[in-house]
Structure 1
Amino acid sequence: MSGRSATAVTELLATATLDHTWDVATMHTPVGLYPRAGLLPAVVEVRDQTGDWDGVGQTRQLMLSDGGSVIEHTTNVDRLEFFAYNLTDFQKVFGGMVESARAEWTFTQAPNGTLIRWRYTFHSKAGYGIPLAAIIKFLWGPYMARVLPGIVAEIERSRR
């Protein structure tokens, strides 16, 4: 029996140029921007990053506040438009439920800045589709909606 997918999406406008928004949102370390929220751990460290996180095929390991980690691997880097990476090797609770995940960031120039659209799709291990879908709907989706404003605040705070 194969697993199922569960997706969450959020979007927000950054009142900064497309170029600046891209540089901060895609190249900035996730440490400090992804805090602990209830059962979801914070990103506390990045290890073994290969490159500047600006090209296809780069990897890094995110260390989490619950002692777990996850591996990110860039798959798409279309400057100023689209950035995506796959996540594997989940540990702790997600390790038992999640086969892999994919994060996609789309950047669109808007009249007053840049529209950021963030999409996360999790692929469950066999038998965990329903519980994973509930976690994504009730925990991860709301978490994304709380995290993206912090990323936008960092973009606007560091505006050139």
Structure 2
Amino acid sequence: MTTPSAPVSATALVSVLSHPVVAWEFVTGLDPASFYPSYGPLPAVVGVRDQSGDWTTAGQERTLLLSDGGHVVEHVTDAESPTFFAYQLSDFQRLFGVLVSGARAEWRFEKTAHGTRILWTYSFFAKPGRRLIVRAIVKAFWSPYMERVLPGIAAATPSASRRS
């Protein structure tokens, strides 16, 4: 029996001038096709299909349609307003389908003196023998992608402005 390797993770951080409840509700309710463009070899999210309910309840599921013709299934595992939100990703297609067995996204919302700190962590679970290439892709593309996407989400959060 092989032991699964540790996930390959990336984290991005931004602060907004919004109360944690406002930030949490915005992030959990956003339209992925509006905030996740393509970046290098990473395809854009172009649509959502089969969403089973609002995206603020554990157990909900949906399929994200990608610009390369593939898709990925998201399943909410944790929805703890206003501090934590997480979902598992499965059924990757194309490049990631060959490299990973799944992924997990976690969003943490921490109250600050001036609003909310949003911490977004994405962890990929590499298939056997593919961890090094997944780590290279995460370092070269996924981590910079997150750093590019998160400020746009922060800027769109109601009563929000990006803070360093």
| Shorter-chain TM band | over 0.9
The count of corresponding residues between Structure 1 and Structure 2 is 159
* Cα deviation, residue 2, structure 1: 5.0
Q: Which runs of 5+ in 2 are unaligned?
A: none
Conserved? CA contact 1:98–1:124, under 8 Å: yes
Counterparts of 1:153 and 1:42, CA distance in 2? 19
2:71 corresponds to: 69
Tell me, what secondary structure is at the counterpart of 1:31?
helix
For residues 151 and 53 of structure 1, the distance between their equivalents in structure 2, rounded to whole angstroms, comes to: 16
TM-score (norm 2): 0.93
- Percent identity, aligned pairs only? 45
- Tell me what 2:40 maps to: 38
Matched, 1:12 2:14: yes
TM-score when scaled to structure 1?
0.95
Q: Which runs of 5+ in 1 are unaligned?
A: none
Cross-structure match for 1:59: 61
- The runs of at least 4 consecutive aligned structure 1 residues that moved more than 2 Å come to 1-4, 156-159
Question: What is the match of residue 125 of structure 1?
Answer: 127
Distance 1:71 1:127 in 2: 23
SS of the counterpart of 1:54?
coil
Amino acid at match of 1:154: A
SS of the equivalent of 1:21 reads helix
The structural deviation recorded for 1:153 is: 1.0
Relative distance call for 1:3 and 1:130 in structure 2 (3 A) is farther
Task: Indicate which of 87, 93, 96 corresponds to 1:94.
Answer: 96
Is 1:141 the counterpart of 2:143 in the alignment? yes
Distance 2:135 2:40 in 1: 17
Alpha-carbon contact 1:41-1:66 (below 8 Å) kept: yes
